[in-house]
Structure 1
Amino acid sequence: METAGPVLSVVVPMYDEQDVLPIFFDRMRPLLDGLGIGYELLVVDDGSRDETADLVSVAAKDWPQLRLVRLLRNSGHQAALSAGFRRARGEYLVTIDADLQDPPETIAELLATARDEDVDVVYGVRSDRSSDKWLKRTTARLYYRLMCRLVGREIPFDAGDFRLVSRRVVDAVNALPEDGRVFRLVIPWLGFPSAEVKYVRAERAAGSTKYTVSKMVRLAFDSVTAFSAAPLRLATWLGLLGGLLSVAFVIGALVIKVSGQSIPGWTSTVLAVCVIGAIQLLCLGLLGEYVARLFQSSQRRPQFLVGYDSLEDHGHHSYAEAIESRDPDQR
């Protein structure tokens, strides 16, 4: 029995990626085989509703290094990455999406850079995002600028979740007690020696993106509330501003009253109520975000639950065999 783990683990979170899988495997297998090192390709199926897990399991029958981990339900991209970090065995770990916008051919350069420069983290940095739509490029630019202001300049600009980390980083991330971690912020925050490799971002090879606008907004909220108390301070300043505006309204009302120019009206009242009410609601919303995080943390619920790991399938029928044994109408 093999006791030593692979040199490289490539973690790929997937959710409804059946359209792109054949292309992804055709590019990934010769690349990884050509590295000349022991590796595992760890696919984390994030509760897909299509045939993603079935196709991975069938491909794994002729590809010993291909490993499938299935989550019991859809838990989100970052949770799937967390599952990959927990399950990966490699000395180095690379995270990459299945859409092939981040070229797999860059993995060899990431690994060579880590070894040559003796660093624990190598970020894949997008030097050209012209393949992305204008809205995606604009919101991404705003996101990274905001994170650099709130978290620190150590956040690499235009580096997503395509990166290589050493086993030291993997162990450090797994030891963190927090739930709902955002990897593109957590890993730079740890402070391990790092380097960058630039590449050109390509168009999605097939299928459609699963990262909707609502998910991107949720990621931005999680990034801010998990790493900075700045919104709470913003709420404080907005409260002070609301107080000053209230004082100004009172003074203005008194001046009008004393001058005898007071007339019945509702404009000033409505204006005051709208301004103060908007500020109060915004402050309550910001406070609610932090209270929600505290509530979720107090529940101690796991971020994800693994329902199947092909590596642990000892003495039982494999997932692929289970698929083939099912009635065709139930597949």
Structure 2
Amino acid sequence: MDAMEVTTPSPPRSPRRPRPNRPAPGALLDHHSFTYSIVIPVFNSVEIVGTTIDRVVDVLDGAGLSYELILVNDGSRDGSWEVISTKARDNSCIVAIDLLRNYGQHSANLAGFREATGDYVITMDDDLQNPPDQILVLIDAAMRGHDLVFGRFERKQAASYRRLGSKAITLINRRVFGQPADLAVSNFRILRRDVVDRISASQTAYPYITGQALLYSGSRSHVAVRHEPRPVGKSHYSLVRIIRLVLAILFSYSSVPLRLAALCGFVIAAMSFGIGTVYLIRGLVGETQVEGWTTLVVLLAVFNGVTIALLSMLGEYTVRTLNAVSAHKNYHVVDRVSG
């Protein structure tokens, strides 16, 4: 049965406060002066997501913080939506959002950003590999005046192919988004309200929260946090998903692949002109033994070289035009539940 998209009126949002000022050197902001939104994308985690929610709530209640917990069901095919919607009905601090289908972690985070009202927004996974008590570590680091703080895992509990994928993405982040060499990034992070607003307002067909956060922040930092093994089940980030993410970042935010193709086109064109020149000289000195062979080779070499060069340049303009006009919706919400 096809999912039906319904329109659920959102509750009035509280006025957003001015962004926190950077404290004087050596001073800290008061973390009790702000509100916090914790955004958790949920995908096929029926066995663990309930425990994750309970532990996050216990940590934040125990710290006496004002918060909201936003759970975004990213097209789960198990009973995850039933779990998080029940939690939302029972707790006024929890909001559950159900997306039409699986759009990916970054689109789910974007949906959570646009729902969030906190002065700071924290993103984390649904599988307890980001221990909820480490949220307080991120908050303490943000109170030093940073508008973006990543959790740097002391030891990442992940498969070897995921670590290799992380290294590849780090190289792309440094080349495309200007990630400093001494800055570690992860999906466990805290962002100030103004950074979240810039990301939410961006019109891109393929959201990539880490890269956009680097682009739209001014004071970045990281702090050491724990990373624990997944208690149940296995990670949904397969090798295929990592490759798709790498390609999406490259083709959506970087012109490197296109310019590499253009460079190859110009090299092939130059080689074609060179071959044409060689056969032209051989034809002029009478070394060819086939009538019309020189003319044919020269014409094919010249015209193919020009065609390849023109296609490469047209590709550059086409991609730029597509990037300028692509503004389709990244996700569709079919249900929203809150206490």
TM range (shorter): 0.7 to 0.9
Paired with 1:65 and 1:191, the residues of 2 have a C-alpha distance of 28
Residues 121 and 195, structure 1, Cα contact 8 Å, conserved in 2: yes
Q: Does the C-alpha gap of structure 1 residues 23 and 294 become closer, same or farther in structure 2, counting only changes over 3 Å? A: farther
Paired with 1:243 and 1:166, the residues of 2 have a C-alpha distance of 50
Residues 97 and 162, structure 1, Cα contact 8 Å, conserved in 2: yes
For the pair 1:306 / 2:336, whether they are aligned, the reply is no
Give the secondary structure class of the aligned counterpart of 1:69: strand
1:245 is matched with which residue?
271
Paired with 2:201 and 2:13, the residues of 1 have a C-alpha distance of 26
For the pair 1:145 / 2:171, whether they are aligned, the reply is yes
For the pair 1:39 / 2:60, whether they are aligned, the reply is no
2:199 is matched with which residue?
173
1:199 is matched with which residue?
225
For the pair 1:121 / 2:153, whether they are aligned, the reply is no
Q: Does the C-alpha gap of structure 1 residues 69 and 141 become closer, same or farther in structure 2, counting only changes over 3 Å? A: same
Paired with 1:142 and 1:299, the residues of 2 have a C-alpha distance of 26
Counterpart selection for 2:79 from 51, 54, 60: 51
Q: Does the C-alpha gap of structure 1 residues 61 and 55 become closer, same or farther in structure 2, counting only changes over 3 Å? A: same
Q: Which sections of structure 2, spanning at least 5 residues, go unmatched?
A: 1-11, 17-33, 291-296
Residues 71 and 95, structure 2, Cα contact 8 Å, conserved in 1: yes
1:322 is matched with which residue?
none
1:139 Cα deviation after fit: 2.2
Counterpart selection for 1:91 from 119, 141, 152: 119
Q: Does the C-alpha gap of structure 1 residues 182 and 245 become closer, same or farther in structure 2, counting only changes over 3 Å? A: same
For the pair 1:67 / 2:95, whether they are aligned, the reply is yes
1:291 Cα deviation after fit: 4.9
2:7 is matched with which residue?
none
Give the secondary structure class of the aligned counterpart of 1:207: coil
1:95-137 per-residue CA deviation (whole Å, 9 max, x = no partner) reads 111122222221101111111x1121111123423x2222211
1:214-239 per-residue CA deviation (whole Å, 9 max, x = no partner) reads 32222212222332222222122111
Give the secondary structure class of the aligned counterpart of 1:98: coil
For the pair 1:77 / 2:105, whether they are aligned, the reply is yes
1:206-245 map, 5 Å:
206-245=232-271
2:56 is matched with which residue?
28
1:297 Cα deviation after fit: 6.5
Normalised to the residue count of structure 2, the TM-score between the two structures is: 0.75
1:188 is matched with which residue?
214
Same amino acid, percent of matched pairs: 27
Paired with 1:249 and 1:142, the residues of 2 have a C-alpha distance of 38
Number of residue pairs the alignment of both structures matches: 297
Q: Which sections of structure 1, spanning at least 5 residues, go unmatched?
A: 264-268, 314-331
Paired with 1:138 and 1:262, the residues of 2 have a C-alpha distance of 56
Residues 150 and 184, structure 2, Cα contact 8 Å, conserved in 1: no
